[in-house]
Copies of this chain bind each other. A is one copy, B any other.
Amino acid sequence: MTYLNPDRIFDPDPAVRKIARVLYESVQDLPILSPHTHVDPKILADNEPFPDPTELILIPDHYILRLLYSHGLRLEDFGVPTHDGITVETDHRKIWQLFGEHYHLFTGTPTGLWMDAELLEVFGVHEKLTGETALSIYDQLQEKLQSEEFLPRKMYETFNIEVLATTDAPFDTLEDHKLIRESDWDGRIIPTFRPDSVTDLSHFQWHDNLRRLGSACGYEITSYATFIQALEERRSFFKTMGCTATDHSMENPMTHRLTDGEADNLFQRALKGRIETNQAHSFTAHMLMEMARMSTEDGLVMQIHPGIMRNHNLKVFNQFGPDMGGDIPIRTEYTRNLHELLNTYGNDPRFRVIIFTLDETVFARELAPLAGHYPAMWLGSAWWFIDSVQGMTIFREQVTESAGFHKTVGFIDDTRAFPSISARHDVSRRVDANFLARQVARHLIDPEEAQRIIRSLAYDLSKKAYHL
């Protein structure tokens, strides 16, 4: 049977496959570095059993929900909580059954690939998920989830994770991180400083967020100067909690410094609720410069991942909130947009910025040439819609010739789905092994060097890029 064949993902050509297998096996058991996730630290702080398969695997995963929704299924029927109080399905076995009946829709997608691997390799389920097997699988999963072996911290250890970074608002008090650090458990869970919800003056909850930032600092923030001070203090606090990186998302990665006066002017307008979209964008462009400035000073690695139009489907957003699969990529420009940032800080040895994209067309044209020149710039891995077999292969094909291997960071799982972490890193290691094997089989890379490179891609580069 081909289901989860040990050679999966590798090219069928025997020469390539043989090399790929050797390369893969050499890194298969390396520890996982996961420097960018959306895992909730609470699950590792509490270390309680996960409630049930539907609650753990299905309801929070917008990768799954969006495809089901696209086939005319209703989010309510999958138990997704609504804002308008409409009743949603609460029978989690019934929801899982519905999922099983439509699981064939995921064939050919990374979600399907991860799920298959997760079911077999994490949970020991030997059947393919279908309408027929759904309830039996549900019961198997449920049983496992109640066992000691599947407690969150235990899974972290089973996955051989060395470090896992969460993503946290700047006003977050990091209580869960504290609990973990103060516990007798030695898993390394670190926060990431993500200030978008306060640096984006047009954020729909900006006033609330600013108040919370003030509370975290112990003073009211009524000026741009205090705002900057607050951010610097919070970065400093995050660092004491193990943080090594910041994270920034926006539609467009424009970078441009305003004068302090101009910045304060926009800040005051926002305080009065009178900010316009283009003004908010100017402020974001300015704050990227400020964040880069702070990074040169405090050494936090900066991550920028633009190019997404959030909440494209307003009906779904209004009813179910954000992160429901309605975020759609847009064309993104980097050469001009990053010009000011890279000219100001890109030659500074204290600075490091990792650039992500959802627009594959820029890998060869813009990102590889930029990372192949500026010492401060590294290339983030293929991510979100493109952290797939084809997407990660295209990433290597498109960036390697101009930027080589050693300015790319390792795999970023970027996941909310804790139990899928090992499956995701496994796919990445297989794809990289296969890419290298193709090069070896075409006599473009020496076998011994491929061996060194696969280790860098699976482990060393993440460690170096994120100062782990």
Q: Which residues of A contact B (CB under 8 A)?
A: 2-5, 7-13, 15-16, 66-67, 69-72, 104-110, 113, 128, 309, 312-316, 325-331, 333, 335-336, 339, 342-343, 346-347, 349, 358-361, 364-366, 368-375, 377, 385-386, 388-391, 397-398, 400-407, 438-447, 449, 453
Contacts and interface: CB of A to CB of B under 8 A. Distances in A.
B374 A8 contact: no
Contact of A444 (B9, B335, B386, B398): B9
A403 B112 CA distance: 12
Contacts of A335: 309, 312, 328-330
Given A8-B443, A388-B401, A453 B107 contact: yes
17 contacts: A3-B446, A9-B442, A67-B403, A70-B372, A71-B375, A107-B449, A107-B453, A108-B401, A109-B404, A312-B370, A312-B373, A328-B373, A330-B366, A331-B333, A361-B361, A388-B401, A389-B444
A340 to B, nearest CB: 10
Contact of A313 (B71, B128, B346, B390): B346
Contacts of A366: 328-331
Nearest to A19: B12
Instruction: For the complex of A and B, list the 7 residue pairs with the smallest distance between their C-beta atoms, beginning with the closest.
Output: A5-B443, A12-B441, A8-B443, A388-B401, A12-B15, A108-B400, A72-B375
A72 B12 contact: no
Nearest to A1: B446
B347 A336 contact: no
Nearest to A106: B404
A113 B444 CA distance: 7
A105 B407 CA distance: 9
A69 B446 contact: no
A109 B361 contact: no
Copies of this chain in the oligomer: 3
A2 B445 CA distance: 8
A365 B361 contact: yes
A359 to B, nearest CB: 5
Contacts of A377: 70
A380 B368 CA distance: 22
A345 to B, nearest CB: 11
Given A12-B13, A313-B347, 15 more contacts: A70-B371, A70-B375, A72-B349, A72-B375, A109-B401, A128-B446, A309-B336, A312-B335, A312-B342, A312-B373, A328-B366, A329-B366, A330-B366, A331-B365, A390-B398
Nearest to A361: B361
Contact of A66 (B104, B315, B373): B373
Contacts of A7: 443
B373 A69 contact: yes
A386 B402 CA distance: 8
Contact of A8 (B313, B389, B442): B442
A69 B391 CA distance: 28
Contact of A405 (B66, B108, B442): B108
A385 B13 CA distance: 29
Nearest to A6: B443
A404 B107 contact: yes
A317 to B, nearest CB: 10
Interface centre among A315, A364, A373, A389 (most CB of B within 10 A): A373
A360 B349 contact: no
A243 to B, nearest CB: 23
Contacts of A342: 312-313
